[in-house]
Chains A and B, each alone.
Chain A
Amino acid sequence: MLEVNNSPFNEKQVQQLNELLATLTTQQKIWLTGFLSASVASGTVVEVPKATQGEAAPIATNEPVSKNITILYGSQTGNAQKLAENFGEQLKNVGFDVTVQSMSDFKTNGLKKLQYLLVIASTHGEGEPPDNAISFHSFLHGKRAPKLEHVKFAVLSLGDSSYEYFCQTGKDFDAQLEKLGAERIVERVDCDLDYAEPAEKWFEAVKEKLQGDSSVQLSHQEATATVLQETVTYNRKNPFSAEIIEKINLNAEGSNKETIHLELSLENSGITFEPGDSLAIIPINNENLVHSLISALKFDATTNVVIDGESITLEEALTKVLEITLLTKPLMRKLADYTENKEFHKLISDEESVKAYIFGRDLLDVVETFGPFKWDAQSFVNLLRKMPARQYSISSSLSAYPEEVHVTVGVVRYEVDERERLGVCSTYIADQLEVGDKVQVYIQQNPNFRLPNDETPIIMIGPGTGVAPFRSFIQEREERGATGENWLFFGDQHFVTDFLYQKEWLDYLKSGVLTKMDVAFSRDQPEKVYVQHKMLKRSAELYEWLERGAVVYVCGDKGMAKDVEATLLQIIEKEGNKTEEEAKEYIEKLRSEKRYQRDVY
């Protein structure tokens, strides 16, 4: 494998080269070697792009000094980062002076020098900024935020419309920049899960504005194609069909939980990933649910509908293409156009009651309860959005298990209104798939959840399925012979039935790869005990690790992550003799040094 530190290439090049090299046959490699040597020998130097970040190439000499465009991203899963880097690259190619930075890396005293600011921000959880945007977000909203009348800006927000506070962080930035006096050059665009197309349109508009703006210096270079370049071969539209080679329910009999350990073969795909990345799995809706829905709709399953210009049967559309299990407020409003049912209109007129209703319910509930609806199969499917892929933190390391990827899936089943509800993807895996079956997958990179160098100690906090990436981390560190210490906090309901990967952890402790482990089983005693309680118990030692430069990782449920953060603050206050304010600064510093990374869902 090529790496930045063992080759003359930058990070992006290394990634692209590694991806490409993995797919090449020996013949192709030999050919390429010859081709490259020949080109160099004949003087046709194969151009090597310069390192991009923060570098601005002066392009035109006979015109006024070019002006600055700063692209700041706040990214949790890496999508916003990828867009920012891609757009930055394109703007550079047409001659702009561009800086692309994570918000956490941006120094706020640079605000005064900003000219053009492009913000690309995702939203996390209940309208919260992603981790690397938190400090910049709160700075802009705080008392110390300067006037920004000299700044021209545009905001692109990424989000998921199934959440109530859809794209909230982008909206926050958009409103706050205006409030601080900055001038908006292009209206904000809020992107849903399929973000590529709207993001591209927003960018085109921005680019047009920048190029049309006489105050901006353009080069003579021709604009290159501005098509989004996918860095991975496999994606949502072109997933890899991976064979299941192992499937185990990790919980023992008597557990309230069902956690599937799934091993997939990546043979011949050339797919690579790093510890911390996620695997996106494209599920298929439950057959019984589809049939119940079609019969409640009184449609014919074999009716043809057109989706993306392609004609397929209604049954196939509802099974494979569209999401039918999740209700969102926007969807509820669209549904309202097709019924005169008074109860339904009453329901959606009240924010709180509609919120309470959609929680845990699905389309079948609405169709069964609030008819009659005036629609046909086509207008019905037009209301639905595409089935989003579900993302699972990868629980294996490629170096430990070459050409394999493992995930750890918590199976979701619950009952509402006396009907059992099934998590779409988790029960698809648990109930429909067996070893030997194939499943559609692609890699979702997570650049904000990465191992540090091999010497740095790490503290991993991952209860439940949150432990998944840490299995990958530990495997990777063992393979690399990393010397940094590793401390794992794990928790679940019961020791006897729910200690995920117990034997592996015990082996890692024995061999010394895992330095320390603390566990919390919430329901093994009258009082509930969670990971944060175990952290408090180890307060002094935990702080000592922090002071020694340890990186803290938190993965799992967002409620847990909140409690863990509060506990971290408490520990820093107590052990570091700090005020609450100082403890917060300490955490912010950890965050900006990438020593506090979270993967929270």
Chain B
Amino acid sequence: MTKKVVLPPQEGKPSDVEEMKAASNYLRGTLEQSMQDELTSGIPDLDNRLMKFHGSYLQDDRDQRLERERKKLEPAYQFMVRLRMPAGVATSKQWLKLDELADKYGNGSIKLTTRQTIQFHGILKWNMKKHMQEINSVLLDTIAACGDVNRNVMCNANPYQSNLHREVSDIASQISQHLLPRTNAYYEIWLDHEKVVDTQEEQEPIYGALYLPRKFKIGIAVPPANDVDVFSQDIGLIAVVEKDELIGFNVAIGGGMGMTHGDTKTYPQLARVIGFVAKEKIVDVCEKIMTVQRD
């Protein structure tokens, strides 16, 4: 029998980020009001932390900082907006919309990220809502693209390579969908959905009110390719095929593990394979592993 190791509880009180999350009423905070404040193109720091869960955060043009300070102007604030795009797939219609939005509200650039998604830069506060709504108009969103949640789920880039690749790509989407925050905040703030007055714990059955301590990453590799760098993920899944049929995944755990630079108690680990899971159970297993990080 293996010996059960109990980790000592964390010392000290919860970090201020946790307090902020707890007070945010499931990622709402004062974001809505802050976005409507016409006197500044920025938002307060606390709201900016919440903003990450909505797939965006505030930046400013560093080159202009000193000059604007002298001119008695606030920094040139603008937002970065990152999509949630499991397996990095966009339809041609979606792509054309993204291309349009880059010029319409952004600074003309579309950045492809190392986690198979896309981000825009230079979005002004007054355009944020329209930008988000137009992204949603082609059935894309930005939920959980940043922040302390499960991030964009990666896998092979081309679902049309084989039936197997298509099936794995679908599973990536299912995992992404299952691990999405359930709060209605995103829809209220950006898409004008009606406010749901509900502060029960049930609102986030997986995450709870504090979400995760750090970001969480999942990637799936279909051998022989290791395009997602599977052992660098928090959960690395390696597809197992028998008679041309996907039967499940070898599961590896490790990854960045929420490492904080300069804090030697935190460190990344190359992921280690801990066993095989049938494909029908893989979504549930990912959830359970993630809740270990949560706790």
Contacts and interface: CB of A to CB of B under 8 A. Distances in A.
Interface of A: 248-253, 261, 495-496, 499-506, 509, 517-519, 524-525
Contacts of A499: 73
A509 B76 contact: no
Nearest to B125: A495
Given A250-B72, A252-B73, A261-B72, A505 B67 contact: no
Interface in B57-85: 64, 67-74, 76
Nearest to B70: A248
A509 B72 contact: no
B124 interface: yes
A517 B39 contact: yes
19 contacts: A248-B70, A248-B71, A251-B71, A252-B64, A252-B71, A495-B38, A495-B41, A495-B126, A496-B76, A499-B73, A502-B40, A502-B72, A503-B74, A504-B72, A506-B39, A506-B40, A509-B39, A519-B39, A525-B126
A503 B38 contact: no
B245 to A, nearest CB: 56
A261 B73 CA distance: 13
A248 B72 contact: yes
Nearest to B69: A503
Q: Which 3 pairs of residues, A with B, have the shortest CB-CB distance?
A: A503-B72, A502-B73, A501-B72
Contacts of A248: 70-72
A252 B65 CA distance: 11
Contacts of B67: 252-253
Contacts of B68: 252
Contacts of A519: 38-39
Contacts of B73: 250, 252, 499, 502-503
Interface in B3-31: none
Nearest to B76: A496
Given A502-B73, A503-B72, A524-B126, A496 B39 contact: no
A440 to B, nearest CB: 27
Contacts of A249: 71
A504 B72 CA distance: 7
A251 B67 CA distance: 10
Contacts of B41: 495-496
Interface string B127-150: 000000000000000000000000
A263 B258 CA distance: 52
A195 B72 CA distance: 39
Given A502-B74, A506-B39, A525-B126, 13 more contacts: A248-B72, A252-B64, A252-B67, A252-B71, A261-B72, A496-B41, A496-B76, A499-B73, A502-B39, A504-B72, A509-B39, A519-B38, A524-B126
Contacts of B64: 252-253
Contacts of A502: 39-40, 72-74
Contacts of B69: 503
B74 to A, nearest CB: 6
A250 B70 CA distance: 8
